[in-house]
A = this chain, B = another copy of it.
Amino acid sequence: MPVKSKKRPGRPKDKALIARRCEEILDAAAQIFAAQGYRNTDVQLVADRLNIGKGTVYRYFPSKRNLFLAAVDRGMRRLRTQIETCTANIADPLERIVRAISAYLTFFDTHPEFVELIIQERAEFKDRAKPTYFEHRDANVGPWQELFRELMRAGRVREMPVERITDVLGNLLYGTMFTNYFAGRQKPFEVQAQDILDIVFYGILSEQERKGCPPAVDEGTPCD
């Protein structure tokens, strides 16, 4: 009785296998795109690294561009996971900030390929409204702003617009990440984190100078 009970004939699809393959390909792609640059990376190189055929890569990602952007996005999601893991279960808000900054710098120190991918993305895909990095940054900034508001309410942080803090801190980390990668990190990143925190928390002015008036910039711009 040729009952086609529940299984279609032919080779069945293996979802898990497919997902694993995707991960492997994205891993290899991230490394090679970072090492060679987007334009200098032949998809063949990615396939060779994995000992698979070029056509196979195209089975999983419809184009080189698509493969690249998927690799970047995966990096950003990993960064977020890393930071969340490192700050979970930390009660003290200031301590959370400390941990997050350290996790951020550690992540890019451990995975320098993602710094490169961020650059490559900007260089090649100028048409994208907003680079992947900033999409993720904007999507994740909310909770941190809430945390700073709390700290102000608790009187532990000076009153100021929270955006001032998150912007300055965000840009500082962003710039530090790039500088570390491009110019070479000069000191252990724990020290680097400390340096950042020392200045961001305490400022550079001496006690005595703090008593004077705040600096002003708005007296006209004498040069252009």
**Do A204 and B120 have beta carbons less than 8 Å apart?**
no
**Do B156 and A209 have beta carbons less than 8 Å apart?**
yes
Q: Tell me, in angstroms, the Cα distance from A205 to B194 when the chains sit together.
A: 15
Chain copies in the assembly? 4
**Do B183 and A176 have beta carbons less than 8 Å apart?**
no
**Nearest opposing residue in chain B for A102, CB measure:** B217
Q: Tell me, in angstroms, the Cα distance from A131 to B170 when the chains sit together.
A: 23
Q: Which residues of A contact B (CB under 8 A)?
A: 10, 36-39, 53, 55, 82, 85-86, 94-95, 98-99, 101-103, 106, 110, 116, 119-120, 122-124, 126, 130-131, 133-134, 137-138, 155-158, 160, 163-165, 167-168, 170-176, 178-179, 182-183, 186, 190, 192-210, 214-218, 221-224
Point out the residues of chain B lying under 8 angstroms from A36, CB to CB: 126
**Nearest opposing residue in chain B for A107, CB measure:** B224
**Do A156 and B208 have beta carbons less than 8 Å apart?**
yes
Q: A106-B224, A158-B206, A165-B204 are in contact. Are A197 and B172 (CB under 8 A)?
A: no
**Do B123 and A224 have beta carbons less than 8 Å apart?**
no
The smallest beta-carbon distance between A212 and chain B, in angstroms, is: 9
**Do B215 and A190 have beta carbons less than 8 Å apart?**
no
Can you list 5 A-B pairs, Cβ within 8 angstroms, ordered by A? Answer: A37-B123, A98-B217, A158-B207, A168-B196, A171-B179
- A-side interface mostly: helix
Point out the residues of chain B lying under 8 angstroms from A175, CB to CB: 170-176, 178
**Do B110 and A206 have beta carbons less than 8 Å apart?**
no
Q: A110-B224, A200-B199, A223-B82 are in contact. Are A155 and B208 (CB under 8 A)?
A: yes
The smallest beta-carbon distance between A69 and chain B, in angstroms, is: 15
Contact of A222 among B86, B172, B207, B210 (CB under 8 A): B86
The smallest beta-carbon distance between A94 and chain B, in angstroms, is: 6
